[in-house]
A and B are shown apart, each in its own frame.
Chain A
């Protein structure tokens, strides 16, 4: 039995549907991210799990119990907010112990639990500090400890890293994941940052306009996007219109340039218009290694991005981005020069819509 189950969830505000037919089962200890652009319904879905919003239709069960209409304070769901939401009038220790005091736990239990949580977030020396005396990262760690102190059944994280600077963000997301694994707690993480979602999740739910676009492991989401939106939203992607030339051989034509694909033409017929997608890192220069697809290209532009060099090439009439790892001893092609680029059959994805 799944630990958290959302069945046919939808939410409407004044006739506008913001979440539509959302179904998801999350196992105990699983870390699931809701990924999507602003307004896709990911936060609304999270808030429905927390009890801050009531679904228009559908049901939410936690550990087999229907909590759809339970108020937020009766769900035992821990929540972490983007704005930290620490109580400014309380010290770190008081913040962490707040939920336990509400539950009327004994002072000994509270003291022990607070000490345990402070050790978990490595802020033992900040127990008497007030939130305004802490950095953003420290405040968010306290918020995490406060949410975990109550032993919640589900931990909900609403873009908890968005307000932090890049370095702290990367560090803290690893900490969150490590603590979640250590405690074996089920977690739902909302983010619009694909790197964040891909790096810490067991599964990612990609959402768009209130609907689930694709659910899967990060590897699957990135490498095998099933919809045009997922392909475009997760990672960089080159897309182009093409026409099916040979179904058996998986042959497609784009601006008169032929591409072979490993799959995707099945169920289609010759002459069908399709959308193909190729990740920039799947291209390489044919001079290095020739793969199934070798096509002529004109070098249009070169952008240095640090660890990666992005080369814009023109294939037929379409511009594609091609990423290569930065190598200080590698001679880059000249802008305007002609070259051959290559990619495997598996690199050419045919999108379903």
Chain B
């Protein structure tokens, strides 16, 4: 590559980094100025000691965990079955999994409220609806992560090998398929966790306690604490990404090498 090309590459990369990180840095610096005259973590301390935070943050964690469980239970067998039995429908299923990117969350939540606030499905007040909603929102990440994992193994041959050794569908799923795509499942799970922790619309309009609406509430009443909560939220998501990298990097050889 020419020298000018290298310089431009660096220029665009630095510009990109600044574009992403400058606002974050500014937010972080602002969050440290809760006390006059010196930098401190007072805003963070205020957030962590806030009883509302102590209620809503664990609630979001709980929704995220439930979402991940439901998503795994639904999407792993679905992705597996589509690959094994109806591969011709893969593109259709992939299109469906992308719908949450196309349909705005506000439209989706009003659809949920309208559908499930009248008999026979009067479940608008149930946390199950929120979890179901989050499961749909996590679909592009979870399903695609699982599908990518399945692509890395020869699903049909492994299934047939297990069947010829006497295994039924349960054994095949739990002893052969799950262990060989666990890295992909974990990647999808952490992405889903991050999505649920930062999701505002569903929790707000279904009136359920959650972390994102809490940040929105803070913005209306406090100055420095919303900045601190935002940084906490980012830190949590980055931690999830870090764990994905850590697990994915460590296990890659075993899964791909055996294929």
> Which A residues have a C-beta under 8 Å from some C-beta of B?
50-52, 71-79, 81, 83, 85-89, 98-99, 102-103, 130-133, 143, 146-147, 150, 156
Contact = CB atoms under 8 A, between A and B. Distances in A.
A10 to B, nearest CB: 22
A190 to B, nearest CB: 14
Given A73-B167, A102-B166, A85 B180 contact: no
A132 B164 contact: no
Q: Which of B175, B255, B258 has the most CB of A within 10 A?
A: B258
Interface of B: 153-154, 157-158, 160-168, 171, 175-176, 179-180, 253-259
Nearest to B157: A85
B160 A88 contact: no
21 contacts: A78-B165, A81-B160, A83-B154, A87-B158, A87-B161, A87-B175, A87-B180, A89-B254, A89-B255, A98-B165, A99-B165, A103-B166, A130-B257, A132-B254, A132-B257, A133-B257, A146-B165, A147-B164, A147-B165, A150-B166, A156-B164
A252 to B, nearest CB: 50
A149 B256 CA distance: 26
Nearest to A101: B175
Secondary structure at chain B's binding surface: helix, strand, loop or mixed? helix
A137 to B, nearest CB: 16
Contacts of B259: 88, 132
Given A88-B180, A130-B254, A72 B157 contact: no
Q: Which of A51, A88, A146 has the most CB of B within 10 A?
A: A88
Contacts of B153: 88
Contact of B165 (A83, A88, A150): A150
A52 B253 CA distance: 30
A77 B163 CA distance: 10
Given A81-B161, A88-B153, A102 B254 contact: no
Contacts of B161: 79, 81, 85-87, 143, 146
A85 B159 CA distance: 9
A71 to B, nearest CB: 7
Contacts of A71: 163
B12 to A, nearest CB: 39
A146 B153 CA distance: 19
A89 B163 contact: no
Contacts of B165: 73, 78, 98-99, 102, 146-147, 150
A132 B252 CA distance: 11
A88 B258 CA distance: 5
A257 B168 CA distance: 66
Contacts of B168: 73
A5 to B, nearest CB: 20
A111 to B, nearest CB: 17
Contacts of A146: 161, 165
Contacts of B157: 81, 83, 85
Contacts of A132: 253-254, 256-259
Given A81-B160, A85-B161, A102-B171, A73 B254 contact: no
